[in-house]
Amino acid sequence: MSSRAVEGGSPLPDPHGLGWPAKSTVSRLNETTTDRAAREKMMVSAVRTILECIGEDPNREGLLKTPERFAQAMMWMTRGYEERLADVINDAVFAEDHDEMVLVREIDFSSLCEHHLVPFTGKVAIAYIPNQLVLGLSKLARIAETFSRRLQVQERLTKQIAIAVQEAIKPRGVAVVMEATHMCMTMRGVQKPGSITVTSCMLGCFRTQQKTREEFLTLIKK
């Protein structure tokens, strides 16, 4: 691990290694088996209420196990609240004399829109220009996975990924481009299937140097 790591062995400034935790994230991270069971029991009760409110019978055969299934699925789909970025990155920071772009593209992701609790899915490209340190390639995908497994908006998710890479290895620059389809646009509201939302975050030399930015944008389109 690089000497850039802060006290506690984490390359990130967050003392819990979470990176932008929500209000109750630390309590979920440190919960016991009993705490988790109580959390899921509360969620099961809430889902039964929702089923009744939409005019369904939670006691009919097809829905008997739905509240439990939903609670377990929701905990899994939001497991990013239980993952420390420090553990995700672990010791995969290496000293390397490489000063050209590192790019991983076509990374699949799935997340939940925090406005409607429906999925948005797509692909993300992550690039950086090293500054004496490189990050294990799989860790770029793992960082994206950790943040996507939280309630999100695409704009924030894109920026969180970029800043996490920036804070972990202090590269000369970071670039992230995300393309996604949002179920809140295709299943409800304007109902526009096929629409794609594109967001980007450019830090360091990707923001200040047009040629570097253009090289990145050209490479992700190949």
Positions marked catalytic: 113-116, 154, 182, 184
Number of neighbouring beta carbons within 10 Å of residue 135: 26
SS3 26: helix
**What angle, rounded to 10 degrees, do the helices at 33-53 and 66-77 form?**
120
What would the two tokens of residue 172 be?
A: 């000369």
| Pair 106, 123: CB distance under 8 Å | yes
User: By C-alpha distance, which of 24, 207, 71, 186 is closest to 127?
Assistant: 207
Half-sphere exposure of 38 (CA within 13 A, CB side): 7
Kindly list the distances between the CA atom of residue 68 and the CA atoms of 79, 87, 116, 192, in Å, as whole numbers in the listed order.
17, 29, 20, 32
